[in-house]
A and B are shown apart, each in its own frame.
Chain A
């Protein structure tokens, strides 16, 4: 996907391992394989949904994309430039066009700052407007995300979870970024509030035209939001497909088992796949295909050879020997 590519963000063969020390006296360093050779593109203005179980590395991937975590290997291209090694002023300038929305609306807002200062921090950092101008822009922005005008003078603890998430969204869109990484933005919220926040995110995308890297473990949320869906398991991508195709006919056995686990209200019953066992530890991921320990299609070859992500149907990528 290099050369003349039209993607806003390209992650190419990203690796990230976190060292963990077994015990104080042990010299041997174990590594959590958070991301193991992941490549994915986020096109301009589209939403790429990243789905997977807890601990599969999707949050890490989101943070690597924004250079909040440095990758151990691979390249990050954003708007056509390689930002893998950027630092200092250049990195700060690039960051104006990439933002993040967090899962936890409580730890994502500084409890000692007023909402106005939280939302306006980016403008201040980049010297965009004086005090009065920032005050006005903040008021407009807060109104846009559905908060009352007096919110600007309050502190975060005076708001509910959903309102705090709106503040987080306002902060993320303040600089009109081209890319927003939404890291499980609704999983800490009540279902009724979830829908409001998701719709707000969609409306804002239409208005501002930004792309989302939308991370979630909830397939229904992913389906509602995404144009393209990437399925991640133990630090590797299993399947990347247009959302419609994926939900109509999942190809990879892992995707199939995930979809069969989503409860359907009044829908036609689908295949029912129950996975055996637990997700293996990312400290010692299984050799060969990461999924072979739980896969219903697994053969001898799966234990030895790691399948590559390849186009198995038009526009659809899967990493499986038998699909």
Chain B
């Protein structure tokens, strides 16, 4: 490690806070977190309450973002949809990261035949156009939110696996690993206590960027009608309704579109900010 590193956490936060784009991204991420944690604070309407007398109303004081084709409040549906999107994003990335970590640690630490087989499998997985793979898998399964989380997770772990493998290859040669071995530590202890903690920084970056991708994929699937199923609200399926009525109800398309845009942008900016702040070559800037 860099000899000049002082307290790593504080330095890291300082550098992150100096990056205005990352701070803006973090703020967007935080905002959507708060929205999904306290939906009642943002809309008093029931997201599933149908009111046929108020179909496709433009934004008003009563319905700040208008109503949809069944007279449901768009703001309320978006607020609850935020919860779904974040949930899908985090669980899917959680699955992907867990698989990626295990594969990467195993392949990098033991090397040899297992490493070769696993890495060729990663290459094969990367050859598939992921979105169409997800589409065809979902076509066989019931399109539920849990299946979506699982499928996005199972198709998104390869990047993390490669990253972790590369880190593991370099860390396992470091002296502190030899020292642990000399102390009598077994493989499992060396992997969990010595290698894993030192691979986590790049994994955090990959996971943050991965959340953006997962949210985008979920929206696209829901937009195509094979993601989150109505009446459960999601930004993607609000957009579907918006597409049918785009000539006379612009608010149905624009607001969920903006929400997706800002969330994804927020995660991307934050992820890139973390990456830059954690890069030792940029230290002290």
* One of A66, A108, A121, A175 near B175 (C-beta < 8 A): A108
* One of A104, A126, A171 near B184 (C-beta < 8 A): A126
Which residues of chain A from 10 to 27 have any CB-CB distance to chain B below 8 Å in the complex? none
Residues of A within 8 Å of B175, CB to CB, are 102-104, 107-108
Q: Does A187 contact B (CB under 8 A)?
A: no
Q: Does B248 contact A (CB under 8 A)?
A: no
B7-21 interface code vs A (CB 8 A; 1 in, 0 out): 110000000000000
Q: Is the CB of A110 within 8 A of B198?
A: yes
Q: Is the CB of A161 within 8 A of B182?
A: no
Stretch of B133-141, B156-164, B186-194, B229-237 lying at the A interface: B186-194
Given contacts A92-B186, A107-B174, A111-B1, contact A171 B6 (CB under 8 A): no
Q: Is the CB of B183 within 8 A of A171?
A: yes
In the assembled complex, the CB of A122 is this many whole angstroms from the nearest CB of chain B, namely: 4
Residues of B within 8 Å of A102, CB to CB, are 175, 178-179
Q: Chain B interface mostly helix, strand, loop or mixed?
A: helix
Given contacts A157-B6, A158-B7, A161-B3, contact A108 B179 (CB under 8 A): yes
Q: Is the CB of A171 within 8 A of B5?
A: no
Given contacts A107-B175, A108-B176, contact A121 B198 (CB under 8 A): no
Which residues of chain A from 83 to 116 have any CB-CB distance to chain B below 8 Å in the complex? 92-93, 95-96, 98-100, 102-104, 106-113
Interface size, chain B (Cβ < 8 Å): 23
Q: How far is the CA of A61 from the CA of B194 in the complex (A)?
A: 25
Which residue of chain B has the shortest Cβ distance to A177 in the bound complex?
Answer: B182
Q: How far is the CA of A87 from the CA of B3 in the complex (A)?
A: 36
* One of B5, B180, B189, B197 near A112 (C-beta < 8 A): B197
Q: Is the CB of A157 within 8 A of B197?
A: no
In the assembled complex, the CB of B197 is this many whole angstroms from the nearest CB of chain A, namely: 4
Q: Does A63 contact B (CB under 8 A)?
A: yes
In the assembled complex, the CB of A99 is this many whole angstroms from the nearest CB of chain B, namely: 6
Q: Does B181 contact A (CB under 8 A)?
A: yes
Q: How far is the CA of A98 from the CA of B1 in the complex (A)?
A: 26
Q: Does A125 contact B (CB under 8 A)?
A: yes
A100-B178, A100-B179, A111-B198 are known contacts; what are 8 more A-B pairs with Cβ within 8 Å? A68-B178, A92-B186, A107-B174, A110-B180, A113-B194, A118-B176, A122-B184, A157-B8
Q: What are 22 contact pairs spanning A and B, CB under 8 A?
A: A63-B178, A68-B181, A95-B184, A99-B183, A103-B175, A106-B3, A107-B1, A108-B174, A108-B176, A110-B176, A110-B193, A110-B194, A110-B198, A111-B8, A113-B197, A118-B176, A121-B180, A121-B185, A122-B183, A125-B185, A158-B6, A158-B7
